[in-house]
A = this chain, B = another copy of it.
Amino acid sequence: MELSLDPRLVFTTLEVIAIFAFALSGLFVAKQHRLDAVGSFIAIFLAAFGGGTLRDILLDQRPFYWVKNSSLLWGVLAMALLGSLTLRLSSRLFSNRVILVADAIGLGIFSATGTQMALQLDWPALPAVMIGVIAATFGGLLRDIACNEKPMLMSDPTPYASVAFVGNWGLLLLLQLQWLDVFWSTVVASVAIAGARLLLAFLGVKLPQLDGH
């Protein structure tokens, strides 16, 4: 008799949280650019599903999570509709701080689960870490590219992808140490990455420019 949590189910739950967090960031960016309904939906869907879909293409994993579980698409669609209406009533609800937190949650979860998925497919360490970073950051990159904006990923000096990169190495270390099982290691890494991202952003830490001035 099995009583343990099904890791696939838990990963799906984490992914759902991350997808909605990223969808919220897409909604905010859409509002900033005053996109019409369709443009907003594209920005939201790219932010929510772009990174994970690219991850699955690179890992050659089919069916996509949003095909296996299409209620995810329905949920984001409902959120996009609802968000559009809510934003008309009060845009104050979506302050930069709400977005920052939502985005940090998405970053933490997608980078840890992406790395974990690559390791389960026997990818070597560095490529696995990279896949985690790509899963966590390329949705936002695609969102900004589609909006013809300088991608935040490339221009925002606060640590973002770098936190995911370092955090994914932390996950590898955790898995090596075997203090926790695979599932809890991934949860701890997700929380640590999200927390570190928020802490560094609130402290105003900035990455050095390549040129040093």
Chain A residues close to B by CB (< 8 Å): 30-31, 34-40, 42-43, 45, 53, 57-58, 60, 62-64, 66-67, 70, 73-74, 77, 84, 87-88, 91, 123-127, 130, 141, 144-151, 153-155, 157, 159-162, 206-212
Contact = CB atoms under 8 A, between A and B. Distances in A.
A124 to B, nearest CB: 4
B160 A130 contact: no
Contacts of A43: 154
A35 to B, nearest CB: 6
**Copies of this subunit:** 3
B146 A38 contact: no
5 contacts: A35-B155, A36-B155, A36-B210, A73-B126, A73-B130
Contacts of A162: 37-38
Contacts of A37: 162, 207-210
A86 to B, nearest CB: 11
A154 B146 CA distance: 7
A170 B34 CA distance: 29
B70 A34 contact: no
User: Which interface residue of A45, A57, A211 has the most chain B CB atoms within 10 A?
Assistant: A211
A132 B103 CA distance: 29
A210 B126 contact: no
A210 B73 contact: no
A153 to B, nearest CB: 7
B154 A151 contact: no
A73 to B, nearest CB: 5
A31 B77 CA distance: 37
Contacts of A211: 31, 34, 87-88, 91
